[in-house]
Amino acid sequence: MTRIDKNPSGADSAVTVRGLVKHYGETKALDGVDLDVRAGTVMGVLGPNGAGKTTLVRILSTLLASDTGQATVAGYDVARQPRQLRRVIGLTGQYASVDEKLPGWENLYLIGRLLDLPRKEARTRADELLERFSLTDAAKRPASTYSGGMRRRLDLAASMIGRPQVLFLDEPTTGLDPRTRNEVWTEVKAMVGDGVTVLLTTQYMEEAEQLASELTVVDRGKVIAGGGIEELKARVGGRTLRIRPADPLQLRPLAGWLDDLGITGLATTVVDAERGSVLVPVLSDEQLTAVIGAVSARGITLASLTTELPSLDEVFLSLTGHRASAPQDARPTETREEVAV
Amino acid sequence: MSAATIDTATTGDARIPLRSHLRHTGALIRRNLLWIRQDPESMFDAVLFPVIFTLLFVYVFGGSIGQSLGGGQEAYVQYVIPGLLAMMGMNMAQGVGTGFNTDFNSGVMDRFRSLPIGRGSVLFAKIVVELMRMLVACVILMVVAVLVGFDITHWPGLFAAVGLATVFGSALMWVFLTLGVVMKSAQSVQAMGFLVLMPLQFGSSIFAPTRSMPGWLQNFTEYNPLSSLADAARGLMVGGPVAHGLWVTLAWSIGLTAVMAPVAIHKFRTKT
């Protein structure tokens, strides 16, 4: 079942990309991308719209040919061994790639047969996966009647039919509401628990942090940063803790006191009077715990306590000194702001 | 997964064995048939087209064209039914183009293309199901034909005519599949199909004998494969010369398929 022994590029690397270039006419979608994904890990590819994320996934899943450069997935060359490669990958595209007119069960059975499973096994596998993705009740309904979240789950289930070694998730939660997004995250985490290697593209730092262990940040077809997620988080300044005391009058004293305490990382606290809360930058889980411990030891009653991740824009700002580039001619106002920054 | 399908020694990539091709095509045929079950209205064209065309042509034009045939409406029925049979493939093929274009632009195509299947099987399955639909349409046409007074004198000839229409229809389907893959929207495929089909259908011997047409148009109808098919079908079903129409139709069918099937598969494979 496993084919790690056949991997010529070293046992550790499930996806290897070297100098990948792809043009669409004048536009350079990929401009020399290098990337390594270790087997059994989740690599997040973070970048704004038009950064080349989808192009990368389409090349790696053999839907698109690159202009130059090389890529192997599970040891198979994307250009020379596409059929074998297709046998070991799963793909969940940016738009749910299920057949809307077919019932959920039929969707999965069809994929099973296309992957050469015998009829009986294809049937069992469809049943199993519907069960696992909590779709058994909807098995007989056409996918067009599914909610957005159900459709994504069916899509993920379809990607899992062939027990892939490498799974490509192209913006798996774009367009989903927060609750549905959490459902999808839970499913993806469970899949990773099964030992699948995942390459995930996303526009959200939060999603990358939830799912990925390593991160590659791309912009305008180029890799602009990469590394362990913790390391990158440290570079972009970690999280922000938002504390809202029950009594608004305590807002300013609390902020001053936290600053005096000297445990809040690099920056000072900020008072957000409009929303009645204090923003405390924290770099580590230890700092986070220390701040909360101190606040509760002081006996201040809190109305709410949340952590916030830096936005994509803030990540780009910290890593590159400029904002995430908008796709050309799409957002002229922001490009002008770039000069001001 | 089965190791038998992996044969890297010779090609560097796995080959897809014939049995897998058949299995994939079978699974995709099932998909296309389930579509019809989910959406029975999609059979409307196959069911209604033969009914409406037969009634329109027989009762609107039948009397006057029948006179020039040396009979009346009854004579026209014998004339036009084989013509309508010849037209069937063309109408079905046009639907294939638009339907496939819509299908192609849906996300599920990306999934198919990321699976280890021969990409031609997606197209083969579509054609097989459309031919089934065409046969349904042929049966309905013949039922209506008999109801309006068509005389089935020669059953083997009838079956042969249906077979010939099916062969030609499948050749046209490859043409329209190519259009469906290449053109951007279903509407443009439909518009294109309409523009090509109208002159071909009416500039032929399908609906009326070509004797009374001006010379230049007679030349056109002579080279129009639909005329050949209609003439052959007429010969097979009600008697008359068969051979010329038959060979010309077969030559067109083989030629179109030999050129357009590889083109369609290639375009499908490389389109992104």
One DSSP character per residue, B183-224 reads SS-HHHHHHHHHHHHHHHHHSSTTTS-STTS-HHHHHHHHH-
Q: What is the pLDDT of residue A129?
A: 94
* Average pLDDT of the residues in A99-112: 94
* Average pLDDT of the residues in B87-104: 85
What residues make up the domain containing A163? Answer: 7-234
Using one digit for the tens of pLDDT, what is the confidence trace for B230-247? 999 999 999 888 999 999
pLDDT interval class at A76 (50, 70, 90): very high
Q: What is the pLDDT of residue A323?
A: 60
Q: Are both A217 and A74 inside the same structural domain?
A: yes
pLDDT interval class at B2 (50, 70, 90): very low
pLDDT over 90 percentage in chain A: 42
Q: Are both A189 and A208 inside the same structural domain?
A: yes
Q: CB-based contact (8 Å) between A1 and chain B?
A: yes
| Domain boundary pick from A182, A208, A234 | A234
Strand partners, A216: A45, A226
The CATH number covering residue A164 comes to: 3.40.50.300
Question: With 50 as the cut, is the pLDDT of residue A217 above it?
Answer: yes
Using one digit for the tens of pLDDT, what is the confidence trace for A21-51? 999 988 889 999 999 999 999 999 998 888 8
- Mention every residue, 6+ apart, whose C-beta is less than 8 A from residue A143: A98, A99, A100, A101, A102, A103, A104, A107, A151, A154
* Alpha-carbon gap, residue B128 to B173, rounded angstroms: 10
Closest CA to A38 of A232, A195, A189, A163: A195
What residues make up the domain containing B54? Answer: 40-270
Note whether residue A314 is domain-resident: no
pLDDT interval class at A5 (50, 70, 90): very low
Q: What is the pLDDT of residue A57?
A: 94
Q: CB-based contact (8 Å) between A82 and chain B?
A: yes
Q: CB-based contact (8 Å) between B7 and chain A?
A: no
Question: With 50 as the cut, is the pLDDT of residue B113 above it?
Answer: yes
pLDDT interval class at A274 (50, 70, 90): confident
* Average pLDDT of the residues in B129-152: 94
Q: What is the pLDDT of residue A292?
A: 86
Q: ipTM value of the model?
A: 0.85
Helices A119-132 and A104-114 pack at an angle, to 10 degrees, of 130
Question: With 80 as the cut, is the pLDDT of residue A227 above it?
Answer: yes
Note whether residue B27 is domain-resident: no
* Average pLDDT of the residues in A204-224: 89
A298 vs B125 pLDDT, higher one: B125
Note whether residue A284 is domain-resident: yes
Note whether residue A212 is domain-resident: yes
Question: With 70 as the cut, is the pLDDT of residue A150 above it?
Answer: yes
* Alpha-carbon gap, residue B186 to B110, rounded angstroms: 18
Instruction: Give B 226-245 residues with CB within 8 A of chain A.
Output: none
Q: What is the pLDDT of residue B120?
A: 87
Q: Are both A166 and A218 inside the same structural domain?
A: yes
pLDDT interval class at A330 (50, 70, 90): very low
Q: Are both A290 and A195 inside the same structural domain?
A: no
Q: Are both A150 and A19 inside the same structural domain?
A: yes
Q: What is the pLDDT of residue A1?
A: 42
* Average pLDDT of the residues in B126-152: 94
Question: With 60 as the cut, is the pLDDT of residue B3 above it?
Answer: no
Burial of A285 (0-12, 13-18, 19+ CB in 10 A): exposed
Q: Are both A113 and A147 inside the same structural domain?
A: yes
Note whether residue A321 is domain-resident: no
CB of A41 within 8 A of CB of A49? no
Q: CA torsion sign, A113 to A115 to A119 to A123?
A: negative
Which of B35, B115, B272 shows the shortest C-beta gap to A115? B115
pLDDT interval class at A321 (50, 70, 90): low
Q: Are both A133 and A176 inside the same structural domain?
A: yes
Note whether residue A267 is domain-resident: yes
Q: What is the pLDDT of residue A237?
A: 67
A260 vs B125 pLDDT, higher one: B125
Partner-chain contact A116 B13, CB within 8 Å: no
H-helix or E-strand spanning residue A223: strand A222-228
Q: What is the pLDDT of residue B70?
A: 83
Question: With 50 as the cut, is the pLDDT of residue B8 above it?
Answer: no
pLDDT over 90 percentage in chain B: 51
pLDDT interval class at B248 (50, 70, 90): very high
Q: Are both A131 and A275 inside the same structural domain?
A: no
Q: Are both A12 and A145 inside the same structural domain?
A: yes
pLDDT interval class at A340 (50, 70, 90): very low
Q: Are both A181 and A295 inside the same structural domain?
A: no
Q: CB-based contact (8 Å) between A102 and chain B?
A: yes
Note whether residue B33 is domain-resident: no
Question: With 70 as the cut, is the pLDDT of residue B5 above it?
Answer: no
* Residue B116 distance to chain A (closest CA, Å): 5
Question: With 70 as the cut, is the pLDDT of residue B206 above it?
Answer: yes
Partner-chain contact A95 B112, CB within 8 Å: no
CB of B132 within 8 A of CB of B162? no
Which of B15, B39, B114 shows the shortest C-beta gap to A101? B39
Which of A63, A80, A116 shows the shortest C-beta gap to B114? A63
Note whether residue A325 is domain-resident: no
Q: Which amino acid is at A331?
A: R
Q: Are both A74 and A184 inside the same structural domain?
A: yes
Q: What is the pLDDT of residue A309?
A: 75
B67 vs A267 pLDDT, higher one: B67
Category of B26 on φ-ψ map: left (φ > 0), alpha (ψ -120 to 50) or beta = alpha
CA angle B203, B205, B207 (to 5 degrees): 90
Residues of A in contact with B26 (CB under 8 A): 113
Partner-chain contact A106 B35, CB within 8 Å: no
Strand partners, A239: A282
Q: CB-based contact (8 Å) between B10 and chain A?
A: no
Task: Say how many residues make up chain A.
Answer: 341
| Domain boundary pick from A234, A253, A285 | A234
Euclidean distance between the first and final Cα of chain A, in Å? Answer: 53
Residues of B in contact with A93 (CB under 8 A): 107, 110-111
The CATH number covering residue A277 comes to: 3.30.70.920
| Domain boundary pick from A217, A234, A251 | A234
* Average pLDDT of the residues in B84-100: 87
pLDDT interval class at A327 (50, 70, 90): very low
The pTM score is 0.80
Q: Are both A114 and A11 inside the same structural domain?
A: yes
* Average pLDDT of the residues in B157-171: 95
Q: What is the pLDDT of residue A183?
A: 85
Number of structural domains in chain A: 2
Note whether residue A25 is domain-resident: yes
pLDDT interval class at B17 (50, 70, 90): confident
Number of structural domains in chain B: 1
Note whether residue B195 is domain-resident: yes
Query: Average pLDDT over chain A, rounded to whole?
Result: 83
Highest mean pLDDT among A236-240, B30-34, B97-101 belongs to B30-34
Question: With 80 as the cut, is the pLDDT of residue B76 above it?
Answer: yes
Using one digit for the tens of pLDDT, what is the confidence trace for B42-51? 888 888 989 9
Q: What is the pLDDT of residue A267?
A: 59
